[in-house]
Amino acid sequence: MAGIRSHFIFRRDATLKVRTRARAGLMSVFFLLGFGLVAARLVDLGIAGTNDGLSSSWKQISSAVYRPDIVDRQGRMLATDILTGSLFANPSRINDADTTVEQLATVLGGIKPRTLRKRLQGSGKFTWVARELTPRQQAQIHELGLPGVDFVQEPHRVYPAGPTASHVLGFVNVDNRGLAGVETHIDRMAGVSASRSKRGQEPAPVRLSMDLSVQHAVHAELASAMKRYQAKAAAGIVLDVHSGEVVAMASLPDYDPNHRKQAMDKNRFNRITSGVYEMGSVFKVFTTAGALDTGVTSLDKGYDATHPLKVASFTINDFHAKRRWLSVPEIFIYSSNIGSAKMALDMGRKRHKEFLGRLGLLSRMETEMGPTAMPIVPRNWSRLNTMTIAFGHGLSVTPFQVASAAATLVNGGYKVAPTFLARSRDEARIQSKRVIKLQTSDLMRYLLRLNAQQGSGRRANVAGYRVGGKTGTAEKVVNGRYSRRALMTSFLGVFPMDAPEYLVLVVLDEPQRVAETKGKATAGLNAAPTVGRIVERIGPMLGVTPVLDRGRKRFDEHVRASY
Amino acid sequence: MRVVNVLLAAFVVASAFVIYELKYESRALKQRVAELRQSIKVERDAVAVLRAEWSHLNRPERVAKLARRHLGLKPLKAGQILTARQYDSIRQPTPAEVAARLLGKTLPADPNHTASIN
């Protein structure tokens, strides 16, 4: 009010100098500006508000990120994040570190008292005590009522399907960062490890090419094969030969990704992508395909397999020796080493090596999980190398590469990059290029089917699914020598052979001569029937229509009884 | 002029009051938003747990075991799959036969129906 009155005085006193008025005017402008600013700030605060302390503080503490879910090709959940409690301590607020550690040790089994005590006695305001506690442990610690320790809720990765898909999924570390399998791919994908995503803001689920039902069938059959044949390890992969999708991949012994410590066990590594093996006779498919594709041989040609092949101090002999001339299909179904070696020699070292390289057998193969193990390729590729590699010795590759290369042989000749992510066949076709002739692919289909009907792959030939394939029995190197007892058996199966869709490769490590296999341990007696059993189970899941031979009872009587 | 000033003063007081009211209202709303956000997060986390549990209980390994124990089901064999054409060629049981099988006893034949069977 004082200001208003003085204003009137101003008006009455006309003798005041103009200068004073100007000064007063200037003053009032300043005041107006000043109050205007205050008012504006008030309005601003009123509307925008300050950041209330409502956003909980654990996000700053926790370094764990929410990861996108992983689902199988049908959308079934394979990995997700749930919240679990973790315990941290504020050392500056802990008075008695000894008692605190003592009390905590009663609840937490796995802690090291000495290191924890040191951490709690140190300076600083934050240290982890234990992470990923069970709800029960959390409750018990809460009961202890210790000062200076508190919980935070952190996202924690869980794998609901357990060990079934472990080698495909991989696992994560305590901070929810991918350490193996597809989880590493998710970390490399933009926006996962870069930002600390919150619940509801995590990227869209990652859809795999894997089918959980097929994966389970493969996993279960491998487990039973490992037991039945008393093998050290069993591994298998199912590949869509057109899209390159890995529909299933298992390697036993495996681990439960929910218990990441198990995964560190050296024996539980992924034999499909990380192990390199001399694949034995399975390699004859590549030799034969190479010889056919380069035109050095044809199905009506033959090779003399009467005598063992002597090179330097080596003698190449046949396991199922026929001691006569063999036609190319006979070489294939009797799995003749002599014939295959001669076929490779006909191709010549250079072309043989080039052909294997074209199929991707001589270099690492990139996948979403990172590169496969490096193949062991002879440094100087000699004539002898070509001869032994023709029947699968002297070159060690991952089963993953064998599956991928074999897919090319049966899918019409296209090199399709295998993938663990869902992809359509059309999409794959655009990205892939032809590396062998269509005709070669057709001939290979014929040979593989023939081998399953008359040759070493008979036990893989389950009714209805037109399986074709090739066995491989390789002797493992024990103490620097090939051992007759330690075998590595494998079977490369494809079905249905009239129009191939899926490839199944099974590898057994040191199967024993059990009664069921008539005291033998060759691939035709263990790996081949395992593939057969797998095909029989996954065929219907993958929608492959079985065709039963004419004249046979077409329909199971029992089914009719179960209307 | 005095009237104008008094009016202005009254306006200032009134608008201050209104702003005060609005501000508190908005603060309450903001709190509500935060609460809702938090409860959405809690619900989302709960949903994630339930979905994980659902998937865990539905894992094929367990379902296969349960099916074997309680349903007597086994993996499908090729011989159990028929195309529509093959299905046509098989004589189908009459409804009476199906009912009899389900009930575990034979029913008197239905004269109307048996006539229509080939």
CA distance B68 to chain A (A): 14
Range of the domain at A490: 214-541
Least confident interval from A3-7, A27-31, A268-272, A352-356 = A3-7
Instruction: Please report which helix (H) or strand (E) contains residue A80, including its range.
Output: strand A77-89
Is residue A546 included in any domain, yes or no? no
Q: How confident is residue A9, by pLDDT bands cut at 50, 70 and 90?
A: low
The first and second tokens of residue A533, run together, are 């059993």
Tell me, yes or no, whether A383 and A246 share the same domain: yes
C-alpha distances (whole Å) from A475 to each of A231, A266, A485, A509 are: 14, 22, 8, 10
pLDDT winner (highest mean) among A114-128, B5-19, B60-74: B5-19
Tell me, yes or no, whether A220 and A124 share the same domain: no
d(CA A402, CA A142): 55
Which of B7, B57, B77 should we substitute to test contact with A (largest number of A Cβ atoms within 10 Å)? Answer: B77
- Which residue matches tokens 């009123």? A46
Count Cβ atoms below 10 Å from residue A268 Cβ, excluding itself.
18
pLDDT value of position A122: 77
Nearest to A162 among B61, B86, B90 (CB): B61
Is residue A50 included in any domain, yes or no? no
Tell me, yes or no, whether A235 and A173 share the same domain: no
Tell me, yes or no, whether A339 and A419 share the same domain: yes
Residues 29-88 in B contacting A (C-alpha not used; CB under 8 Å): 30-31, 34, 38, 40-41, 44-45, 48-49, 51-56, 58-61, 64, 75-83, 86
Number of CB pairs, chain A paired with chain B, less than 8 A apart: 120
Is residue A43 included in any domain, yes or no? no
Domain at A116, CATH number: 3.90.1310.10
Tell me, yes or no, whether A161 and A304 share the same domain: no
Is residue A346 included in any domain, yes or no? yes
In chain B, residues with a C-beta closer than 8 Å to the C-beta of A49 are 26-27, 30
Tell me, yes or no, whether A73 and A117 share the same domain: yes
Tell me, yes or no, whether A117 and A259 share the same domain: no
pLDDT value of position A43: 77
Interface touch A200/B44, C-beta < 8 Å: yes
Mean pLDDT of all residues in A485-500: 91
Least confident interval from A120-124, A155-159, A326-330 = A120-124
Mean pLDDT of all residues in A155-164: 87
Q: How confident is residue A560, by pLDDT bands cut at 50, 70 and 90?
A: very low
Distance in Å from the first CA to the final CA of chain B: 111
Is residue A361 included in any domain, yes or no? yes
Nearest to A4 among B5, B44, B55 (CB): B5
pLDDT winner (highest mean) among A158-167, A303-312, B105-114: A158-167
Mean pLDDT of all residues in A213-229: 93
Tell me, yes or no, whether A263 and A302 share the same domain: yes
pLDDT tens digits for range A518-537 = 778 888 889 999 999 999 99
Torsion on CA atoms A380, A382, A384, A390, rounded to nearest 10: 90
Q: Where are the alpha helices (DSSP H) in A165-211?
A: 166-169, 181-188
The first and second tokens of residue B53, run together, are 């549990």
Interface touch A540/B40, C-beta < 8 Å: no
The first and second tokens of residue A454, run together, are 């008359």
Nearest to A164 among B27, B49, B61 (CB): B61
Final residue belonging to a domain, choices A208, A237, A259:
A208
Q: Put residue A348 in one of left, alpha, beta given phi > 0 → left and psi -120 to 50 → alpha.
A: left
Tell me, yes or no, whether A179 and A251 share the same domain: no
State whether residue A466 is helix, strand or coil: coil
Residues of A taking part in catalysis: 281
Mean pLDDT of all residues in A349-369: 91
Is residue A40 included in any domain, yes or no? no
pLDDT value of position A195: 45
Mean pLDDT of all residues in A356-366: 92
pLDDT tens digits for range A533-559 = 999 999 989 988 888 764 444 444 444
The first and second tokens of residue A509, run together, are 């490590």
Tell me, yes or no, whether A483 and A445 share the same domain: yes
Is residue A42 included in any domain, yes or no? no
Interface touch B48/A81, C-beta < 8 Å: yes
If one compares A80 and B77, the residue with the highest pLDDT of the two is A80
Mean pLDDT of all residues in B64-90: 80
Tell me, yes or no, whether A300 and A332 share the same domain: yes
In chain A, residues with a C-beta closer than 8 Å to the C-beta of B31 are 52, 54
Tell me, yes or no, whether A170 and A221 share the same domain: no
The first and second tokens of residue A208, run together, are 């795999």
pLDDT value of position B115: 43
Amino acid at A445: R
Q: What are phi and psi of A153, to 5 degrees?
A: -95, 125
CA distance A563 to chain B (A): 7
CA distance B111 to chain A (A): 22
Least confident interval from A146-150, A323-327, A430-434, A441-445 = A146-150
Final residue belonging to a domain, choices A185, A208, A231:
A208
Number of domain units in chain A: 3
**Is the per-residue pLDDT at A53 higher than 50?**
no
pLDDT value of position A549: 60
Instruction: Please report which helix (H) or strand (E) contains residue A560, including its range.
Output: helix A557-560
**Average per-residue pLDDT for chain A:** 84
pLDDT tens digits for range A54-93 = 444 444 555 667 788 899 999 999 998 888 888 888 888 7
Domain at A335, CATH number: 3.40.710.10
Helix axis angle for A438-454 and A284-293, nearest 10°, is 140
d(CA A449, CA A493): 9
In chain B, residues with a C-beta closer than 8 Å to the C-beta of A257 are none
ipTM score of the complex?
Answer: 0.70
In chain A, residues with a C-beta closer than 8 Å to the C-beta of B12 are none
Predicted TM-score (pTM) of this structure: 0.78
d(CA A95, CA A92): 8
Query: What is the CA A82 to chain-centroid distance, rounded?
Result: 22
pLDDT value of position A362: 92
Chain A residue with minimum CA distance to B82:
A555
Is residue A54 included in any domain, yes or no? no
Q: What is the DSSP string of A498-521?
A: TS--EEEEEEEES----GGGTT--
Q: What is the DSSP string of A266-284?
A: GGGS-TTTS--EE-GGGGH
pLDDT value of position A15: 62
User: CA angle at residue A291 from A290 to A297, to 5 degrees?
Assistant: 160
Final residue belonging to a domain, choices A177, A208, A239:
A208
